[in-house]
Structure 1
Amino acid sequence: MTALSILDLIMIGEEKSLVHSLDEALQFARRAEAAGYSRYWVAEHHNMPGIGSAATTIIMSHLATGTSSIRIGSGGIMLPNHAPLIVAEQFATLETLYPGRIDLGVGRAPGSDRETVLAIRGQHPAPREFSDDVTAVMNYLEDNRRQPARGIPGIHDTPVWILGSGLYGAKLAAELGLPFAFASHFAPRYLMQAITAYREHFRPSPQLAAPYVMVGVCVFAAESRQEAEYVASSHRQWVANLHAGRPGLLPKPVEGYMEQLSASQRIGLDQELACSVTGTRDIVRRWLQDFAEGTSADELMIDSRIYDPEARCRSYEIAAEAFL
């Protein structure tokens, strides 16, 4: 059976603050746990207006403390921004505090613009190979003494996931025998090529005996199609504003948003949000079932940036009720 999980960028809405976003995320994680979601992923972004997920591991601890069974993961830690030893120490600590509930998703994108990257890494960062960083983190977590320094002593059972939006991540995940998550919720172009390459080249590892694919989707569900379109407008506005060079807070929803756009704007949104469904329970059920069958995904990760916290919770609950 295909599992469901959630990606949260800790969006900060108009007329709200980070305090609101963190409080809402905890309420949301509790509702997701009750609804049967397997995992709750927290992103890493820096210097992006409207996104509050800069301190990823701190937010993960906040959510894990307030829940009891749902797994909490990083979706993901951008390894070029961090020393592998520090990442391993933080996740070993999380795994110790919340045993059996922590996942480490890693990516190689900077998660921000060049100036912010320099501010994070320093003015003259030494270039590092992403695959080497992944291996180093795994070595530290396994406490196998293959690194010159030692992380927190002991073997830490923290699954490592490779996140990607192209073929590089797919092939690396296959080579290392790790689960692979594809970012089709915003970059769907190479979805089928990537998961095919991953499955074809997968090598079993101590962590994973067979390929495991998670793919990103956007779901905007409500009791009526009109209401679903309304709540989806916040996500769509934010994406359109970002493309226009106007990143900002998550906008309030508006009626008839898509009808207000030019043809080129609608095409751009449709391309980025191709792996999305908006509608009632029955529409969402059919779409999710078809998408899961078409990709043979082991897990679907939902990213839906909905302004109203109750409408957001209900959208995810409807998706779980319909699909699970």
Structure 2
Amino acid sequence: MGDKRIKVSVLDVAPVWRGGSASGALRASLDLAKRVEALGYHRYWTAEHHNLPCLAATAPAVMAAQLANATSTMRIGSGGVLLPNHAPLVVAEQFGVLSAFHPGRIDLGVGRAPGGDARVATALRRAGDSGEDEFAAQLAELAGYFGSGGPISAGAAAEHRPPIWLLGSSPSSAKTAARLGLRYAYAHQIKPATTEESLRAYRDGFQPSADLAEPYAMVGAAVTVAESDAEADRIMRPYLLSRLSMRAGTGFDAFPSQQEADAYSFSSEEREHVRGFADAQLVGGPDTVRQKATALLAATGADELMALTLVPDPEDRVNSYRLLAEIVP
């Protein structure tokens, strides 16, 4: 990495906490964006999820428009648009408009995941999970709408070509990004076991494209930083408690409150499960997270770090981002 300063960015899923609402979560996202921009963050991406009441991030293009209007310097984007859910032409039109209103500030991150269950797929008129070849064809179609000369005009997309990122959590997605010459964002918070393998596959297999001459990768992680390891563990407990429901496959309408998490007694097996997740992420006091972030970036060779911070208190969340900005190498 040399003396290169690593850029730090934010991934937001608009979490709904106990006692809150989806509308409140969306307003909190706008407030968070303005506050992390003041801290010097480079990007702010919003996710796409469906039929999950605990997550209000359902419409990345709409949310990106609001976030871009609420900020002035930070790059804004999707993390990501789940491309099989949408016609590539519509996505190009949406992000062409966004780029026209906010030139040089919009990112288009796309993923292949469904973002919901079978009922969601039916409601979105999807036939099911797209195969690797079909997804690659969708990506190629999407890219083709940006710039002039195609048989179909996508409006402002003909004049504006935002950087296209492929999001993934496997060596397979990494190889697709490499083959197509795209920027790649790996979700370490979803699958830390294959982070290094995937980033290595991306760099080893990268083929230059018209948009990108050299590989460029970002690694995303779950991040909770506080004044001490113990305090970071405490404020992350609500999210860790929610992961037990995720593992069991039981839905929940909102993330647990801090009071619920403080009162919950984890069994030894549950404690081992959540500790295994937290240990693989960037959780702790400043010194601990500095060491873990340095190790993760060195092992992956990532050019950027994107942080997903899920804690119920808005001030704890901002403080975590403040501390992270101060300690990333």
* Matching of residue 97 in structure 1 with residue 101 in structure 2: yes
Q: Give the Å deviation of 1:18.
A: 1.7
Give the 3-state SS of the residue equivalent to 2:45 in structure 1. Answer: strand
The alignment-based identity, stated in percent, is 39
Q: TM-score, normalised by structure 1?
A: 0.93
Give the 3-state SS of the residue equivalent to 1:301 in structure 2. Answer: strand
Corresponding residue for residue 277 of structure 1? 282
Give the 3-state SS of the residue equivalent to 1:189 in structure 2. Answer: helix
Corresponding residue for residue 34 of structure 2? 30
* Matching of residue 290 in structure 1 with residue 295 in structure 2: yes
Indicate conservation of the 8 Å contact 2:112/2:130, yes or no: no
User: Which residues of 2 match residues 37-56 of structure 1 at below 5 A?
Assistant: 37-56=41-60
Indicate conservation of the 8 Å contact 2:239/2:311, yes or no: yes
CA distance in 1, matches of 2:35, 2:26: 14
Aligned in 2, Cα 1:278/1:257: closer, same or farther, shift over 3 Å? farther
* Matching of residue 308 in structure 1 with residue 313 in structure 2: yes
210-219 or 247-256: which moved more?
247-256
Corresponding residue for residue 176 of structure 1? 180
* Matching of residue 237 in structure 1 with residue 269 in structure 2: no
CA distance in 2, matches of 1:126, 1:41: 24
Corresponding residue for residue 68 of structure 1? 72
Aligned in 2, Cα 1:256/1:57: closer, same or farther, shift over 3 Å? closer
Indicate conservation of the 8 Å contact 2:241/2:261, yes or no: no
CA distance in 1, matches of 2:55, 2:260: 24
Q: Give the Å deviation of 1:257.
A: 5.5
Give the 3-state SS of the residue equivalent to 1:157 in structure 2. Answer: coil
CA distance in 2, matches of 1:191, 1:230: 26
Corresponding residue for residue 266 of structure 1? 271
20-29 or 238-247: which moved more?
238-247
Give the 3-state SS of the residue equivalent to 1:141 in structure 2. Answer: coil
CA deviation digits over 1:141-197, x for unaligned, max 9? 12331xx42211533120000111112211111111111111111211211111111
Over aligned residue pairs, what C-alpha RMSD do you find? 2.0
Corresponding residue for residue 83 of structure 1? 87
Give the 3-state SS of the residue equivalent to 1:286 in structure 2. Answer: helix
> What amino acid is aligned across from residue 78 of structure 1 in structure 2?
L
* Matching of residue 151 in structure 1 with residue 154 in structure 2: yes
Q: Give the Å deviation of 1:253.
A: 1.8
Aligned in 2, Cα 1:144/1:234: closer, same or farther, shift over 3 Å? farther
Give the 3-state SS of the residue equivalent to 2:155 in structure 1. Answer: coil
CA deviation digits over 1:96-117, x for unaligned, max 9? 1111111011111101111111
Q: Give the Å deviation of 1:224.
A: 2.7
Give the 3-state SS of the residue equivalent to 1:121 in structure 2. Answer: coil
Aligned in 2, Cα 1:144/1:244: closer, same or farther, shift over 3 Å? same
Give the 3-state SS of the residue equivalent to 2:116 in structure 1. Answer: coil
CA distance in 2, matches of 1:127, 1:47: 20
Indicate conservation of the 8 Å contact 2:11/2:45, yes or no: yes
Corresponding residue for residue 228 of structure 1? 232
Indicate conservation of the 8 Å contact 2:226/2:286, yes or no: yes
Indicate conservation of the 8 Å contact 2:200/2:300, yes or no: no
> What amino acid is aligned across from residue 217 of structure 2 in structure 1?
V
4+ residue runs of structure 1 moved beyond 3 angstroms? 124-128, 254-259, 270-275
> What amino acid is aligned across from residue 150 of structure 1 in structure 2?
S
Q: TM-score, normalised by structure 2?
A: 0.92
Indicate conservation of the 8 Å contact 1:185/1:273, yes or no: no
Q: How many residues align?
A: 321
* Matching of residue 5 in structure 1 with residue 14 in structure 2: no
CA deviation digits over 1:267-312, x for unaligned, max 9? 4334444531322222222221222112211011111111111110
CA distance in 1, matches of 2:224, 2:129: 42
Give the 3-state SS of the residue equivalent to 1:193 in structure 2. Answer: helix
Aligned in 2, Cα 1:33/1:174: closer, same or farther, shift over 3 Å? same
Q: Give the Å deviation of 1:255.
A: 8.4
Aligned in 2, Cα 1:258/1:206: closer, same or farther, shift over 3 Å? farther
Give the 3-state SS of the residue equivalent to 2:321 in structure 1. Answer: helix
Indicate conservation of the 8 Å contact 1:215/1:299, yes or no: yes
93-102 or 149-158: which moved more?
149-158
Corresponding residue for residue 119 of structure 1? 123
